[in-house]
Amino acid sequence: MQERFAELGAVACRFLERLLEAQRQGKDQAQRVLALLGSYARADVMAALERAVRYGAYSYAAVERILAVQARPKSVLDTLAEEELPSLPALADDPPVSPRPSAAYQQLLDEEPDNHDEDSDPPAAVTGGGPT
């Protein structure tokens, strides 16, 4: 947990340290603060932690209130894009797929049955009523 806060920077480490000192269930609250990274952008969470440290508000509830006022939760598309980001380098290494020449589809046109007889009568129209 300390490593994850360290990844966020010095302010986050200071917040964690004071949170563990100030709160009885500090570890649980610290985990909940980290979970906010799933709902909010990293920059927004960092700004909330900075504000909490500035005003001495060392609790999960304080960070959550700050985010509710100052930030917007990530959209579903942002969340999905963030989840798929690690797989993008592997996909980018694949060779590009070039388009097929149109001649490759000519056989499909040649095999199409010719059911367009002009001499045949069109099917009889179906009427909604019974015999007249």
Cα 22 from Cα 61, distance rounded (Å): 13
User: Which residues contact residue 66 at a Cβ distance below 8 angstroms, ignoring those fewer than 6 apart?
Assistant: 47, 48, 51, 52, 57
Is 130 a domain residue? no
Tokens of 15: 């917040």
Is 43 a domain residue? yes
Total structural domains within the chain: 1
Is 70 a domain residue? yes
Encode the chain (132 residues) as per-residue pLDDT tens digits: 889 999 999 999 999 999 999 988 999 999 999 999 989 999 999 999 999 999 999 999 999 999 999 999 988 877 777 767 666 666 667 777 888 888 888 888 877 666 665 555 566 655 555 555
Is 58 a domain residue? yes
